Amino acid sequence: AITVAKWLEQHELVDHIRHPAFETCPGHEFFKRDFDGSNGLFSFVMKTGNQKAIDAFLDSLVHIKMGFSWGGFESLVTANLTMKGLRSDTGWDLGPVIRLHIGLEDVEDLISDLSQALEVYKQHL
């Protein structure tokens, strides 16, 4: 998951990563204090987007499937156009936000899948 997150962090369309192991993530100080590692669940925030681009991104993924169960072996994805109103206690006005659970698939296959899906996303902006 860290390899995928670091790759996404460098992508031109990605604004930032929401992964507790990243220093830029809110609450990182607690992660660093309390944990030695992390699991495969994290989010990335796009610089810009719309629902059409999100839908095209999700539909184009091959190895990563849409889903809401974050405890399995397979890589899963879900997305929101905005975080505003979903977590009013955070005050975050983010969006679009794509949430990934990285499973046991080969990391290069997952990066390749995300790479082509981000190209599709860009075509629908």
- What are the residue boundaries of the structural domains of the chain, listed by start? 2-123
Q: What is the pLDDT of residues 53-109, one digit of tens each?
A: 999 999 999 999 998 777 689 999 999 886 555 555 555 667 799 999 999 999 999
- pLDDT in the model for residue 80: 87
- pTM listed for this prediction: 0.89
* CATH of 2-123 given 3.40.50.2300, 3.30.70.1150, 3.60.20.10, 3.90.1150.10: 3.90.1150.10
Mean predicted lDDT score pLDDT of the chain: 90
SS (H, E, C) the chain: CHHHHHHHHCCCCEEEEECCCCCCCCCHHHHHHHCCCCCCEEEEEECCCCHHHHHHHHHHCCCCEECCCCCCCCCEEEEECCCCCCCCCCCCCCCCEEEEECCCCCHHHHHHHHHHHHHHHHHCC
- pLDDT in the model for residue 107: 97
